[in-house]
Amino acid sequence: MKIVKVDVMQLGTDVRPDWRPIVCRIYTDEGIYGDGEAAMAYDVGALGAFGMLQELAKMVIGMDPLDNEVIWDKLYRSTFWGQNGGPVTFSAISAIDIALWDIKGKYFKVPVYKLLGGKKRDNLRCYASQLQFGWGEVRIPARTPEDYAKNAKKAVEEGYDAVKFDFFLYNEEDGFFNDNDRLGLLSKKYLNIVEKRIAAVREAVGPDVDIIMENHSYTDAQSALQLGRMAEKYDIFCFEEPTTPYPKITKYMSDKLNIPIATGERIYSRWQYAQYFENCSVQMIQPDFGNCGGITEGKKICDMAYAYDVGVQGHACGSPLSNVVALHLECVIPNFVIHEHHAVNLTPYNKSYCIYDYQPVNGKYKVPELPGLGNELSESAMNNSIKVTIE
């Protein structure tokens, strides 16, 4: 079997112009195809992944799609920018690698998780993610403590026993907090705003629901430390991306706080993750399998984490393809903690990209049982994409 063609696509939406999933479909001479995603759908950088994916696609034409390790090493070692590369390079490698696993599962007529060793769990606990955006089909910024409490209650009523907020994203009136507000030692004004929001959520959900505090690396070591110490009394499940991903600063935060530190969506490859494992600075990693090197590299990262007693939660904030990739990997690893069910998964525009709409029931996810990933791009998504074909 050989790869004969690759379609590289930038998906779009009229509802949200800044949401641009970058995907590919790899075709073989036996009629089997596979879909993959370069997980840079939001903010800046999507076009870089779109271009890089076209460049790398040229290198796999004529190769055997079942040779995922051979192809991975070729893309990593013979492209110059691959070694120690960042999100653009690794997201393109990831998209190709994910599509290869999709092909492999279809070829052997089994779900991807079977090829990874078999699932250890049938139901994956998940949390309602990024509730500051609202929890439903439309994004509605949470600004008051009452908004935060309402969104948390809504998720808990649907069966989730864990929720995640960025409590320091939207300001109280209009727009967002900025770097002048969030960097350096914080005034009592900002600490009080954040605390009122956390307190409202804790009161709304009670003591038995976990709260994840997300910071998107918008704070630095000083402001994050203040927030973390303030939040300790609210029994926070973990503190996500409190600072710029950097091993020494992450170690500083871990040593100073009694809250587990989670990070990883902007850490790429096993070589970059190794530094965090070696200094024992992170308690839960959050690799995005659409930008850390795909399933091939993602499994290695998770296995390395297991050797250091570090838990795993896949970062899943892209099209429904990214979601199922995370499920396949999370169900097989022994150090799985929880699955991220991002608010974007509730939106009609994101659901429309794939043929199946998998959603959790009572805060638990089932893994697709169809051959390959168990989901694929919809005709409407491909027809409305910007497409470049590599042959």
Q: Which residue numbers are catalytic?
A: 216, 315
CA 360 to chain centre: 16
**Contact criterion met (CB below 8 Å) for 134 and 343:** yes
CA-closest candidate to residue 194, choices 220, 158, 244, 228: 228
Within the chain, what is the greatest distance between any pair of CA atoms? 64
Q: Environment class of residue 187 by beta-carbon count within 10 Å: exposed (0-12), middle (13-18) or buried (19+)?
A: exposed
Rounded to whole angstroms, the Cα distance separating 199 from 149 reads: 9
Distance CA 319, CA 382 (A): 13
What's the Cα-to-Cα distance from 72 to each of 27, 38, 79, 87, 150, rounded to whole Å?
17, 15, 11, 16, 45
Q: 255 CB contacts (<8 Å, ≥6 apart)?
A: none
DSSP assignment letter at 102: H
C-alpha to C-alpha distance for 364 and 341, rounded to whole angstroms: 10
